Chain A
């Protein structure tokens, strides 16, 4: 069988091997921008600016690149961290990210043939044979120094077979930002080896009833650091991020009837109700990827219809559907020209695709007795949704032309509310497969399922944030 990835070292060539699509990437890249946050990045010169690496980004998990991660001692002259805690966090988080992606097989330190003292970061002194002997094809070296509350981390990605330096980054951050440093470098490693950056420096908004009422929360994509964002002592549902990651729109029963509320994550007390006239039911907000439109569903006097409104001006929502049936759960295509939604116009919930500009509607799903909860992939190639199989709801994916319908989850319990990572590689969903409802991650092909939340309450309605800029 064709290997799922290939690492070729030809100049300027992309390849097609055994019919598997390959992505080409170049090491020539723009310098990352300084971020507005405490984290800062310096891009150091890649030594081998002409290397080409090819890896199949479409089937993670089937053949993984063996990779070793080694944390070195602090730079000479740099102050070492008081304990190894920060270094360990960075290494652990990075290893987890690489494992989640499905592209890599990280080697356990107990097979390493060299001690960390024997490796010199710069000028590089690395016995590549010692790494290739244990099967490593790529090597990541990490080095962190601490000063006051600040940390400075350098990270290198090396090609073990050629000895080439693929990328070298320096991150400065508060020590509380150590996890983000690891996520940022995981994005970078993914970019170098697949051509498309990872989306590990992201968050997931969700609903939890841990306090007794359903409130809005946010956590890192890997489940770390859950934070409660609301204290409405009501019911909050269906969060959705603005494309700039600064706002979350959600549904709440705060003023009796379900209505849309907008939370500005940068404002102190910036919660406001949207479209107060859209009553008794207004829910399911969804921003278009360019941030220009906000779609939602509302029931005014009759059944529930879809609306959209220019995101800057909340005053005159435009009605998109008009019929006797339920129309809910809009999700935009990445180009903003289409919208997938749920309607029972054929007698049961199914997915339909709407072109908001001309009102044309096409039915997408025909199989299954209950199809709902669609989420259009940020890569545009698939729509994730839930469908009832036997007595349980499972997550499926389908192309927007109705082909290639695939079941991604199986087993007992319901699997609901799929939401894509901004790079389209991962899906977060909620499931009660282990009793109470919790959030789970999986790859876009359904592999690599892992649980994210472990609290006593029910966690539901996950929404993956956009990539941080």
Chain B
């Protein structure tokens, strides 16, 4: 991103994110959405109250001071959602496309954001095949972000295969959670 005013671009991005949250009616996200705090320094552009769901408004108000300093990276990270896959598949499903678009908007709001996409599989199958499958999942997510406009040079990938499962249980529910891509905003 070569905007001459990165901060302004960042602010715009956050606004868009908040708008998206409002648009998709994601009440759960409202609890952690850091939007108002981050855009406050920008002054004028604080239209969140008008577009975000009403339930979120109060809580956002209560969080406003602390997140200005240290929480930025962490809170942006918290907005990056995982996408999920079917068994032995790496195609991006419709639900995952929406999430990728949201993630892209979040990242677009961060100047020079660099993201690491981690690909994971469930525990079934062989170590070697799952490493390759996790890599394909990460590649598929990367390609989608790039198709949206993300700079490919700012995206790196790693496959954990069946290692480091999010849920260590051995059942369908856990496996569904573990077939995923996780997005890590890299610290600079």
Contact = CB atoms under 8 A, between A and B. Distances in A.
A253 to B, nearest CB: 7
Nearest to A460: B127
Contact of B128 (A253, A284, A460): A284
User: Which DSSP category, helix, strand, loop or mixed, fits chain B's interface?
Assistant: mixed
Contacts of A280: 135, 138, 156-159
Contacts of B138: 280
B124 to A, nearest CB: 7
Given A280-B135, A280-B156, A238 B163 contact: no
Nearest to B157: A280
B6 interface: no
A372 interface: yes
B132 interface: yes
B173 to A, nearest CB: 14
Contacts of A304: 131-132, 135-136
A194 B126 CA distance: 35
B125 interface: yes
A440 interface: no
Given A280-B158, A302-B139, A303-B139, A386 B126 contact: yes
Given A235-B163, A281-B159, A302-B139, A258 B128 contact: no
B24 interface: no
Interface residues of B, number: 22
A283 interface: yes
A349 B136 CA distance: 14
Interface residues of A, number: 37
- Chain A CB count within 10 A is highest, among B125, B126, B131, B156, for B126
Contact of A238 (B124, B127, B156): B127
A284 B157 CA distance: 19
Interface in A393-450: 393, 414, 416-417
A145 interface: no
A12 B129 CA distance: 50
B127 A349 contact: no
Interface string B83-105: 00000100000000000000000
Contacts of B124: 388, 393, 414
- Chain A CB count within 10 A is highest, among B125, B128, B156, B157, for B128
A316 B120 CA distance: 30
Given A328-B131, A342-B129, A373-B126, A253 B139 contact: no
Contacts of B135: 280-281, 299, 303-304
B133 interface: yes
Contacts of B133: 326
A461 B127 contact: yes
A62 interface: no
Contact of B129 (A237, A258, A326, A414): A326
A393 B132 CA distance: 19
A63 interface: no
B36 to A, nearest CB: 35
A256 B88 contact: no
A310 B161 CA distance: 28
B127 A237 contact: yes
A329 B157 contact: no
A328 B121 CA distance: 16
Given A280-B135, A281-B135, A373-B128, A257 B158 contact: yes
Contacts of B131: 237, 251, 258, 281, 283-284, 304, 328
Contacts of B132: 281, 297, 299, 303-304, 326-328
Contacts of A281: 131-132, 135, 158-159
Contacts of A460: 127
A344 B127 CA distance: 15
Interface string B41-58: 000000000000000000
B128 A328 contact: yes
A105 interface: no
Contacts of B158: 253, 256-258, 280-281
Nearest to B172: A391
A414 B133 CA distance: 19
- Chain B CB count within 10 A is highest, among A370, A388, A461, for A370
A342 B126 contact: yes
11 contacts: A238-B127, A238-B128, A258-B159, A258-B161, A280-B158, A281-B158, A297-B128, A342-B128, A388-B124, A414-B124, A416-B126
Given A235-B163, A344-B88, 14 more contacts: A235-B160, A253-B160, A258-B131, A258-B159, A258-B161, A299-B135, A304-B132, A326-B136, A327-B132, A328-B128, A328-B131, A344-B129, A349-B88, A373-B126
The 7 closest A-B pairs by CB, nearest first: A304-B132, A326-B132, A373-B126, A372-B126, A328-B128, A329-B128, A281-B135
